[in-house]
Amino acid sequence: MILADKIIDLRKKAGWSQEELAEKLAVTRQSVSKWEGAQSIPDMDKVVQMSRLFGVTTDYLLKDEIEIAEPTVTEDDRRPPLRRVTIGEASDYLALRRTAAPKMALATMLCIFSPIALIGLAAVSELSVSIFTIREDMAAGIGLCVLLVLVAVAVVLFMDCGNKAKEYDFLEKEPFETEYGVTGMVKERQKAFKPTYDHMNTIGTVLCVLSFVPLFAVMAVIQDGFFMTMAVCLLLAVVGIGVYFFVYGGTIYSLMEKLLEEGDYTRREKSQKNITGPVSVIYWLVATAIFMIYTFGPNGNGQPRYSWIIWAVAGVLYAAVLAGIKLIRSRK
């Protein structure tokens, strides 16, 4: 039996159409048709892929004299069957996460906004002449209340989005299979969203870069402590808006990568223990504790207008921590 006949026989036994086999092999239906018509021969890597798909040896596929397929026993055969994602489930997941994207972006922005009132009011309380006078202890109290309220709202939004998508957690943590048509549908939506995603990233990048302009301008021209603190508040506000665009676009684009098992959601990435989430939670809890102790502890300076630098350093180090985790995981 020649290769063409073996492909036809194995495909029909698997219950696949030419289109379905072509999608699994990432080729066109015309290619499969030519293989089965003995008009062309598949590349060696496609032969290897077919041997894995059909559970036979490459010798069986390539050697005409071998008439009986000897099934291969691999490590994958001992594992339970992968969960299968239907086109309905994929559509529901896309709709759910699209709805959640602005909430996730808003929650992240609120976290960045949260220390603004504390820093700004502390600076106002230290002015010797001011239309709006406020005691330092009152400024600290109001600022902390605003910080905690904004963080609490952000946590509620994060938890709400997470709970609604809990049934789809396996997309991020486990390998899975998709029914015919799912990959094509997701790729079409990904292609349609890509220009919007690029625009959001551009806006976010421009805002984050421009956020430093007021601070540098004050440092160069006025060199006044109060105006520098206000410039820092403006910096945080602009960065927060920029991050909103990053998170909004990134949330939608990443959900498509999850369904396609691309980017950070390949099966190789999923096979390694995901520690980014727990590390992030612990990291920011530690950063918040350091800020509170340094500012309001027994030996603290009591001046958030100066200790704001802790948040800036924490942000830079956070990016380095994530990059380090990714580097370590890539070497495993």
* Location of each CATH 1.10.260.40 domain in the chain: 3-78
pLDDT in 10s for each residue of the chain, 332 residues: 788 888 888 888 888 888 888 888 888 989 999 988 888 888 888 888 888 888 888 888 888 777 666 555 555 545 566 778 888 888 888 888 889 999 999 998 998 898 888 888 888 877 755 556 777 778 878 888 998 899 899 999 989 988 888 888 877 777 778 877 888 888 899 899 999 999 999 999 999 888 888 888 888 887 777 788 888 888 889 988 998 998 899 888 888 888 887 776 776 665 554 555 566 667 777 877 787 777 766 665 556 556 667 766 776 676 666 666 656 655 55
Q: Is 185 exposed, middle or buried (0-12, 13-18, 19+ CB in 10 A)?
A: middle
Cα–Cα distances (Å) from 226 to 218, 222, 233, 289, in that order, read 10, 10, 11, 25
Strands (E), the chain: 83-85, 176-178
Contacts of 297 (CB under 8 A, 6+ apart): none
- 3-78: CATH, from 3.40.1280.10, 1.10.260.40, 3.40.50.300, 3.40.50.2300: 1.10.260.40
3-class state of residue 83 by DSSP: strand
